[in-house]
Amino acid sequence: MLPGGTISYTTITGTSGLATGTGLVTSGAGATCLYAPNTTTCDADNVVTINGQGTFTLDPATGVVTYVADPGVTQGTKTSITYRVTDIVGQTATSTLTPIIPPPPVALNDTQAVGAYDTNQTISPLGNDSPGAQSAPLVLSSLKFCPTSATAPFTSTNCSLVPSQGSPLVTADGKYWVNPATGVVTFDPDADFSGTVIQPVQYVVADSLGQQTSAKITLSVSNPPAPVATPQTKSVLPGGTISYTTITGGSGLATGTGLVTSGAGATCLYTPNTTTCDADNVVTINGQGTFTLDPATGVVTYVADPGVAPGTKTSITYRVTDIVGQTATSTLTPIVPPPPVAVNDTNIDDYDTNQLITPMANDRAGDQSAPLVVSSLRFCPTSATAPFTSTNCSLVPSQVNPLITADGKYWVDPATGVVTFDPDAGFIGVVTVPIHYVVADVFARVVSATITPEVLPPAPPTANPTETFGVRGEVQVSDLLANDAPGHLSIPLVLSTVRLCDVGETAPSCSAFRVTVTEIGEYVLDPATGNISFTPESDFIGTADPLPYVVEDQMGRAVSSTHTPTVVDPPELSNDSGKSEQGVAQIISIFGNDTPANAGVPFDLTTLRLCRPTDTPPACSQTSVAIAGEGTYSINGDGTVTFTPEPEFVGVATPIAYVVEDVLGQVVWATIHPTVTPRPEVITIAGQKLPMTGSDALAYVGWAVLLFSAGFAMELLRRRRLS
């Protein structure tokens, strides 16, 4: 309570009274009473005054005690009064009533961590405020705000605002509103505001006794990300004009929050060698050119002097400012590029092969800001003369409509600039007519160069030795060029140029179609087919000396090799034998002891046949022959023969013949002689037995039991007789 004020305590008796008991007395001697101070005696009239503090008054009938504080009473807990209650049987209880004069509440100024740029902040200003006493709490509904024009002292008289989001308290820094139900205040900073507010807001709040206090809310907002300015370089020709990419805007060179385009903070150009904005944003660099900025659009144009020299020119610095005053700078640089350079091209590739050449690969732009343009690549007709420009060189040859020269055809892929050279068939060497091309940079400055391909000769043809085999007196025929090859498919060997080297001739200087070698035979070349025939002398056997020959391709390049015939006698076969035990099959390698006519004339295993006893070689056709009572002969795929004897057969089997041809068809035969030996006998030594095991041991046990039983019976019989 406050000084001079009056309070009523909760009724002592009654249903919701401070005291409980059975039939609490409200009248007479036992009625509720106030004790006189420092006694246990009821005050006569239940009116008790505490000097300098106040007066307690009890109405026994209602049980209500009132307290009237003196106007000059000091703050704090005051002297308590004791009251007594009595129940229906005379039992008593006492307690106290205490008045408190609380100090006024205390409100503390509010701050909090710096909030993000352009982001609402919330704060509970009563969170750090405190009442004078727990009995006099702060009242949330009393929270009121002061207009920015209010001055101290701040009370509910000059601070009565309850701002809402729809009707906020507006300051120089932003907007404020409060949630009356929670006391939470929202601050919505202005889009261009950062830093600590310059207009903190004041508020007042009261406790339950109406005592007021005030404080202020001071918030801070961080800066947005600093702006970023990007440099740019552009090429311009003497006397030309260029526009740089806009500095501000969605795709501008500079980025930042709310970049300023007007007023003192607008984009500007610095005066050269200063950090001061040029007054009219028109800056001239003597002998080079003039920069002009339109702050509203952010576009800078540059006009180069007509006589400006090639090279990188003086840069201009531009500045941008964001919504909160942060700045960034960068530069714009003009370049007057030297003209491009085209370099002559050469290329070497295989015979009759399309060559791919990228002529611009070794050409150079005057500057990287003025690149060469692929689509400007043009070719000159063979009749064009210097100077080569886009006027007399305007061809874009295609594969369908190529540029034709004395050496071949040229065409270009306009998308890539790759040139294809298709040399004429038969062309070899460096082209006799190089082609000219022109190309321009982005400023249409044209340069020219030449393309000079070279075609390598094709690989030379190859000739490889041939050989044939034949029997005595037989003519041997062979395709002399069968295993020879041209160096290139388009340059075949010429059949009509084949010649044999006669005795005394040396390749490639050979001219013969017929060559006779004494005691060997005669060679004859058929020029229409390229076949060579060798007719050996009737008594010649063996391998003749290699006969050289020559042949030319369509380009007249000669190669030589040899032809070697061999005349062979029939092969020689030897009889074969085999041995195995009774009942065991034997595999006989019948060719292991045979000799072919020549290493180049092997046996033809597919012709191997067996002869029945009734057949007469070479008239034999069997792959399997069975001999009754002895066994069966069978041919295996690897040229061996298996003899499978009958189970009981022992001895030398009936020989059978076999026949075979070599690859020249020469037939020979021999015989197979298998032998089957008896199985080894099992030897048994009479009069000896193996040690006793198993059932023999059981027999001995049986005999022992029988003898024991007989002895036992005889003993019983003897005792009976004695008795």
Q: What span, in angstroms and rounded, lies between the C-alpha atoms of 32 and 11?
A: 11
Residue 460 counted as domain residue: no
pLDDT band at 685 (very low <50, low <70, confident <90, very high): low
SS3 content of the chain, % helix, strand, coil (to 5): 5, 40, 55
Would the pLDDT of 370 be above 50? yes
* 446 and 494 assigned to the same domain: no
22 is written with which tokens? 């059975």
pLDDT of residue 332: 98
* 603 and 513 assigned to the same domain: no
Cβ–Cβ under 8 Å, residues 120 and 95: no
pLDDT digits (tens, 9 = 90+) for 529-550: 999 999 999 999 999 999 999 9
Residue 110 counted as domain residue: no
- Burial class of residue 515, CB neighbours in 10 A (0-12, 13-18, 19+): buried
Instruction: Give the contacts of 444 (CB within 8 A, at least 6 positions apart).
Output: 376
Would the pLDDT of 223 be above 90? yes
* 309 and 243 assigned to the same domain: yes
* 24 and 52 assigned to the same domain: yes
Q: What span, in angstroms and rounded, lies between the C-alpha atoms of 165 and 350?
A: 85
pLDDT digits (tens, 9 = 90+) for 295-347: 999 999 999 999 999 999 999 999 999 999 999 999 999 999 999 999 999 99
Residue 113 counted as domain residue: no
Percentage of the chain modeled with pLDDT above 70: 94
pLDDT of residue 614: 95
Cβ–Cβ under 8 Å, residues 555 and 460: no
Q: What span, in angstroms and rounded, lies between the C-alpha atoms of 54 and 255?
A: 74
* 440 and 377 assigned to the same domain: yes
Residue 284 counted as domain residue: yes
Q: What span, in angstroms and rounded, lies between the C-alpha atoms of 37 and 40?
A: 8
Stretch 561-590: mean pLDDT: 94
Looking up residue 369, the CATH number of its domain turns out to be 2.60.40
Boundary of a domain, candidates 221, 247, 272: 221
pLDDT of residue 681: 77
Stretch 577-603: mean pLDDT: 92
Percentage of the chain modeled with pLDDT above 90: 89
Domain count of the chain? Answer: 7
pLDDT band at 260 (very low <50, low <70, confident <90, very high): very high
Cβ–Cβ under 8 Å, residues 349 and 355: yes
Instruction: Tell me how many degrees the CA angle 474-477-483 measures, rounded to the nearest 5.
Output: 145
Boundary of a domain, candidates 221, 244, 276: 221
604 is written with which tokens? 């033809």
pLDDT band at 55 (very low <50, low <70, confident <90, very high): very high
Closest CA to 97 of 68, 71, 53, 65: 65
Q: What span, in angstroms and rounded, lies between the C-alpha atoms of 477 and 218?
A: 117
Give the global pTM.
0.53
Please give the DSSP secondary-structure letter assigned to residue 710. Answer: H
Q: What span, in angstroms and rounded, lies between the C-alpha atoms of 362 and 237?
A: 24
Boundary of a domain, candidates 174, 192, 221: 221
The total number of residues shown for the chain amounts to 723
Stretch 496-505: mean pLDDT: 95
* 373 and 431 assigned to the same domain: yes
* 66 and 39 assigned to the same domain: yes
* 258 and 210 assigned to the same domain: no
Residue type at position 342: A
Task: Give the three-class secondary structure for 535.
Answer: strand
* 349 and 332 assigned to the same domain: no
pLDDT band at 686 (very low <50, low <70, confident <90, very high): low
| Beta-strand relationship, 631-635 and 641-645 | antiparallel
Residue 549 counted as domain residue: yes
Domain of residue 58 covers 6-101
* 555 and 582 assigned to the same domain: no
Residue 112 counted as domain residue: no
Instruction: Give the contacts of 608 (CB within 8 A, at least 6 positions apart).
Output: 635, 639, 658, 659, 660
Instruction: Give the contacts of 527 (CB within 8 A, at least 6 positions apart).
Output: 495, 496, 498, 513
Stretch 644-648: mean pLDDT: 96
Residue 209 counted as domain residue: yes
pLDDT digits (tens, 9 = 90+) for 418-453: 999 999 999 999 999 999 999 999 999 999 999 999
* 606 and 564 assigned to the same domain: no
Arithmetic mean of pLDDT over the chain: 93
Cβ–Cβ under 8 Å, residues 34 and 58: yes
Residue 657 counted as domain residue: yes
pLDDT of residue 517: 96
Number of H helices, E strands in the chain: 1, 56
* 298 and 277 assigned to the same domain: yes
